[in-house]
Structure 1
């Protein structure tokens, strides 16, 4: 029964957190209403029709968002109330007698029950009571896990290639930490899977047809599309002080759970925005920047559309009210049939502060409220700061149109080498995760500094799979390389009297991109590069899944005799 209560408390806590997030938007809606009232009062007969249309659209959008917002709050409140009633019923029910217990043990158990109820105050172990915490660490699976973690430290040995499976009792807590530290995951449409899965999603919902009350009903055509989701591995590394590893199980488990959740959360956020779709989820920005239909796009998926011009814009030379007018106009470019009131704006802190400054010229009081609530000034919608985004870049959209899936399970691994100088041990947490914007039209990307928005970034190098960005062979015509070519050697020299030579580079990894430059001139792989007398620098870059490696060849051309 304790485990049932634990599970229900976890569900209730998660829903309460979602409810708090929804309630935090209330002031944002009030602010937008005030701003729209001011905009309406400013309109007169000289107001251009285009500006009137912008205000009308904003009013309509606000009304829809607010209605959906209130409905979602009411639904969560009802669900929380139902869970709390069930928890009370479970806690008031007498415990089932254990097999083999004698009458004295039963009486002792009943005498303790009153004391147990006094321990309902929350502890620091992820909101669990002392009773619930004790039940977790009494579990044999948890005991075995903690024992193996300690053993690998004391005996200075690795956990092993298979890793340790994180106990099921820990998964809800790791999920809480991950979702609390991930800035984007909470907005996505999440599902748990056990492997590769084909998920059916609804396409555009058609409009119902009006008819006479006794007339025949029109059949509505509902379009469904399949999306195939896999489970790519996301891994985060973290260091744990050996002194803590020698402490009690509660402190050790708390440190591991926190570190696992935070490390995985950071990796997921970056992939949701800029993931390449190769060895990782497909990011929002990456999908918008596609200019050709990917070869792995299934015919059963939603129809692929080229959005690199329609949904990526640059705003130039606009400040104050004019800047926010442009931002509002950019909202028109995203597909809104599926908006559920969860419009999210993603940018770095510098860009957010620039927007706050520009908004001060429109409505100082509203700007202060927006800043305090982390909402987009004037326009509305939640703002999330992501430090990996470029200055001026803003990605935005209705995040429920991003499908995220994760496998049920986590693994814990440990470095084979103990950091004895720092008295630390390095651990890694791995999880299977995938995601993609299933309705890409619901997202957009802009830059407010007059620059072309950044559509790709370099991810942390995957050193464990370095061969993905290495060459299998490299030839510069018939010239001899010094030293002899080796995949792990990245600098070479060539002496030649030839005015040009064919460059032939072959990547180890199928699908890896190869970019060749002769000084500042691009050269196609398999074509010839021209050399001038003296030193010429060839750059051969291999890139795959957001990671790249550069080979440098210095070509010394001697003057013709």
Structure 2
């Protein structure tokens, strides 16, 4: 504990020195601008010599400034890394208040917070601190993107699944690059032939080829400057949670009701459902069940049929269907399992992007979502001085569309339909 306190004190001292140094840097910038004006105004040889001497002196001071700034930032990063390593080894309190960290938690922390991750957060923190101290970064650096290490990208992608309901259901394809991608979504059967025969060269994949783009989705996250004093562990949790949660909501909404390429979004399931598969029914089993027969996945009969609906639709209209009481007041049908929602055994998934009083039945792996590599964060050019917050933007790229729209049925519940 004493070691941590000493490191924290050293970090505080270096940060204070860095803040003072940045003020000096601003004065150097001002003097540089003044000298530019003096160069234009210098007419005599004597004036030119004077300006030249001033420029040489300023250049020496700039070199000294850059060296001191680099050394301080390097010391701060190194000290913070040491502090984070010590903090990661400190026992944490569990729910019972015991100061014990399990071996599994220690392993996860050790495997995740590699040198690459620590350097990434060290650079991110350095930029945030410069912004919080009021330093205006040069145009070439202020918007420079900071590429997230693969291990952090994987963590964000895993956390996206924690905040979504539709994302885990669809066919996910991960691809690199930013160019358009053409995928063969055909599920036709393979060709039988002699053991020494050659596969036929005729290719009808053009009939089932689907083009996918990589539309950008992003979220500006405001980081309170108090977090700059916190550990990398807490900064990572804050940043990855908010980026993952916001991207997850956007992706889920796009899967359900996305407007397609015309609005730079993935194409949603609901807008693509064929008119023949859009039906109305009374909220009764007898009226709803026959419409499941409209689900058409071609010759491929595999795939789980799932019911997706608004949470309120389930509890207001569907859950009560299994609750029946006879004239003697006895239950004659099994009570609904509210903890594990289902529709006569079919899995029910909630999505509040589906309109109320509407159920989408379908084989959701007939929707293909392309997730591009290269998730990144970059600095915003704005700093919220009043709130002591700095903006960081998280960006991802996705495209998706239902490759077999006839694999979905939209049932709108109407009383007395």
Q: TM-score, normalised by structure 1?
A: 0.48
Counterpart check, 1:312 vs 2:278 = yes
Higher relative contact order (Cα pairs below 8 Å, separated by 6+ residues): 2
Q: Distance between the aligned counterparts of 1:429 and 1:201, measured in 2?
A: 30
Instruction: Name the structure 2 match of 1:350.
Output: 312
Contact in 2 for aligned 1:405/1:434 (Cα 8 Å): yes
Gaps of at least 5 residues in structure 2 are 1-99, 193-199, 326-330
> 1:178-214: per-residue Cα shift (whole Å, max 9, x none)?
1121111111111112232111122444999xxxxxx
Q: Distance between the aligned counterparts of 2:332 and 2:118, measured in 1?
A: 56
Q: Distance between the aligned counterparts of 1:270 and 1:128, measured in 2?
A: 36
| Correspondence for 2:215 among 229, 232, 255 | 232
| Partner secondary structure for residue 289 of structure 2 | helix
Count the aligned residue pairs: 296
Q: Distance between the aligned counterparts of 1:451 and 1:274, measured in 2?
A: 27
Q: Distance between the aligned counterparts of 2:210 and 2:248, measured in 1?
A: 24
Counterpart check, 1:258 vs 2:224 = no
Contact in 2 for aligned 1:136/1:142 (Cα 8 Å): no
Contact in 2 for aligned 1:119/1:130 (Cα 8 Å): no
| Correspondence for 1:368 among 325, 333, 336 | 336
Q: Identify the structure with the greater helix proportion.
A: 2
Q: Distance between the aligned counterparts of 2:167 and 2:232, measured in 1?
A: 29
Counterpart check, 1:274 vs 2:257 = yes
Using the TM superposition, give the Cα deviation of residue 139 of structure 1 relative to its aligned residue in structure 2, in angstroms: 5.3
Instruction: Name the structure 2 match of 1:59.
Output: none
> 1:47-88: per-residue Cα shift (whole Å, max 9, x none)?
xxxxxxxxxxxxxxxxxxxxxxxxxxxxxxxxxxxxxxxxxx
| Correspondence for 1:245 among 199, 205, 228 | 228
Using the TM superposition, give the Cα deviation of residue 346 of structure 1 relative to its aligned residue in structure 2, in angstroms: 1.9
Counterpart check, 1:425 vs 2:386 = no
| Partner secondary structure for residue 373 of structure 2 | strand
Q: Distance between the aligned counterparts of 2:341 and 2:203, measured in 1?
A: 37
| Partner secondary structure for residue 403 of structure 1 | strand
Instruction: Name the structure 2 match of 1:446.
Output: 411
Q: Cα–Cα, structure 1 residues 141 and 252, in superposed 2: closer, same or farther, change >3 Å?
A: closer
Q: Cα–Cα, structure 1 residues 173 and 134, in superposed 2: closer, same or farther, change >3 Å?
A: closer
Q: Cα–Cα, structure 1 residues 359 and 237, in superposed 2: closer, same or farther, change >3 Å?
A: farther
* Correspondence list, 1:406-425, <5 A: 406-425=371-390
Counterpart check, 1:396 vs 2:361 = yes
Q: Cα–Cα, structure 1 residues 243 and 366, in superposed 2: closer, same or farther, change >3 Å?
A: farther
RMSD: 3.3
Contact in 1 for aligned 2:320/2:336 (Cα 8 Å): no
> 1:83-126: per-residue Cα shift (whole Å, max 9, x none)?
xxxxxxxxxxxxxxxxxxxxxxxxxxxxxxxxxxx987233xxx
* Correspondence list, 1:461-480, <5 A: none
Q: Cα–Cα, structure 1 residues 156 and 250, in superposed 2: closer, same or farther, change >3 Å?
A: farther
Using the TM superposition, give the Cα deviation of residue 163 of structure 1 relative to its aligned residue in structure 2, in angstroms: 2.7
Using the TM superposition, give the Cα deviation of residue 263 of structure 1 relative to its aligned residue in structure 2, in angstroms: 0.5
Contact in 1 for aligned 2:378/2:393 (Cα 8 Å): yes
Q: Distance between the aligned counterparts of 1:401 and 1:199, measured in 2?
A: 13
Using the TM superposition, give the Cα deviation of residue 342 of structure 1 relative to its aligned residue in structure 2, in angstroms: 2.9
Q: Distance between the aligned counterparts of 2:300 and 2:115, measured in 1?
A: 41
Q: Distance between the aligned counterparts of 2:347 and 2:133, measured in 1?
A: 47
| Partner secondary structure for residue 435 of structure 1 | strand
Q: Cα–Cα, structure 1 residues 340 and 348, in superposed 2: closer, same or farther, change >3 Å?
A: same
Contact in 1 for aligned 2:187/2:300 (Cα 8 Å): no
Q: Distance between the aligned counterparts of 1:450 and 1:311, measured in 2?
A: 19
